[in-house]
Amino acid sequence: MSLGAIKSGLPLAGVALRGCGSALPSQSLSNDQLSGRVDTSDEWIRSRTGIRRRRVLGAGEPLQGLAAAAGRAAIAHAGWSADSLDLVLVATSSPDDLFGMAPAVQAGIGADRAVAFDLTAACSGFLFALVTAAQYLRSGAMRRALVVGADQLSSWVDWDDRRTCVLFGDGAAAIAIEACEPEQDGLCGFRMRSDGRRGAVLQLPRQSGDEPLVAGARWQPGGFSPIHMNGQEVYKFAVRDVPALLRELLEETGTDAASVDWLVLHQANQRILDAVAERLGIPTDRALSNLAEYGNTSAATIPLMLDEAVRDGRIRSGHLIASAGFGAGLSWGAALMRWQGPGNVPA
């Protein structure tokens, strides 16, 4: 498929999901351990969120290393060489470098031919990045892309704020996608939304600073305040806007909810997962969940869940997956995908 094909009106390329991979910090922190730091309990956290433990990057474990390991696993799963990649797109809100972490991930993978850049959309980041990368493949501009979701929100929570610190964990996961014949298209549809008017309910805002610079000029020192969240408003947003968007997508693509094999939602809270599934009329046992082990790893949750379920054989080639990301911005997005990659083949 070439740009010439688009100009001549030939159908655009399809997008096939070919491989997945993930990488997690070795350090695991249980609810009981956290209750030694803040006034909380395993019972409170489990009953309100479904989370039992989370992984946290320790000293000497940079996020970019985790992201590169996830990327290497995904391209090995697809059976590709690193130099066949045209694009490495890293969804993250917590990069090791504010100028962008993707080039370091590209170098860590050895994807020397690929262009690499970051995309920031909080917990919608992976879904937005997947849709963005898919457009390069569809247009014929690129052939193979690696979409990585990686976040280290442990660096940005206030570990003394029990309302937020119990929710998040660190992780990285990736999906390898490539252009294919239009008839084999595995990205059946998508929808994306933003509403900056409601942004204040979930923020990791820049710290306001004001220092004298030289006579007659001042400057604003850099830095960020910890995550600030109105949990109840985020909850209401998630259980109202996310199923509405998924329903629109199912209608637009003529898809019956009964034909959806799996719901792979951003893993924020078990109660949100159950409520979204119920509102769509999808049995809750088809709404995949690994929150108990990892908490909310932000941009990593969707590919992390997908990777786990592909490798343990729940998601099989040909299965239809309805996915949705949602979070700060506010931002939310949904995609309908058909998995075409291998299952648990040795890397």
CA distance 300 to 297: 5
Q: Residue 93: what residue type?
A: S
Structure tokens belonging to residue 77: 């799963």
| Closest separation in Å from C-beta 51 to ligand ACO | 9
319 is catalytic: no
CB nearer to ligand ACO: give 68 or 268: 268
Residue 287 in contact with ligand ACO, rule: CB under 6 A = no
Q: Tell me which of 268, 282, 309, 322 binds ligand ACO, using CB under 6 A.
A: 268
| Closest separation in Å from C-beta 276 to ligand ACO | 12
Catalytic residue among 31, 77, 123, 188: 123
123 is catalytic: yes
Helix (H) or strand (E) holding 33: helix 31-34
296 is catalytic: yes
CA distance 294 to 24: 9
CA distance 195 to 85: 33
Cβ-based neighbours of 304, under 8 Å, separated by 6 or more: 22, 24, 149, 171, 172, 173, 267, 290, 294, 297
Alpha-carbon distances of 137 from 22, 90, 182, 228, 317, rounded to whole Å: 23, 16, 11, 37, 21
| Closest separation in Å from C-beta 231 to ligand ACO | 3
Which residues inside 76-135 make contact with ligand ACO, applying CB under 6 A?
Answer: 122-123
Residue 297 in contact with ligand ACO, rule: CB under 6 A = no
CB nearer to ligand ACO: give 14 or 243: 243
Q: Tell me which of 68, 234, 246, 260 binds ligand ACO, using CB under 6 A.
A: 234
Q: Tell me which of 46, 52, 143, 163 binds ligand ACO, using CB under 6 A.
A: 163
Which residues inside 20-49 make contact with ligand ACO, applying CB under 6 A?
Answer: 40, 44-45, 48-49
| Closest separation in Å from C-beta 70 to ligand ACO | 19
Q: Tell me which of 64, 92, 152, 269 binds ligand ACO, using CB under 6 A.
A: 269
State the residue for tokens 């029990």. Answer: 162
Which residues inside 185-214 make contact with ligand ACO, applying CB under 6 A?
Answer: 202
Residue 327 in contact with ligand ACO, rule: CB under 6 A = yes
Answer for the pair 119, 91: CB distance below 8 angstroms, yes or no.
Answer: yes
- Residues assigned a catalytic role: 123, 266, 296
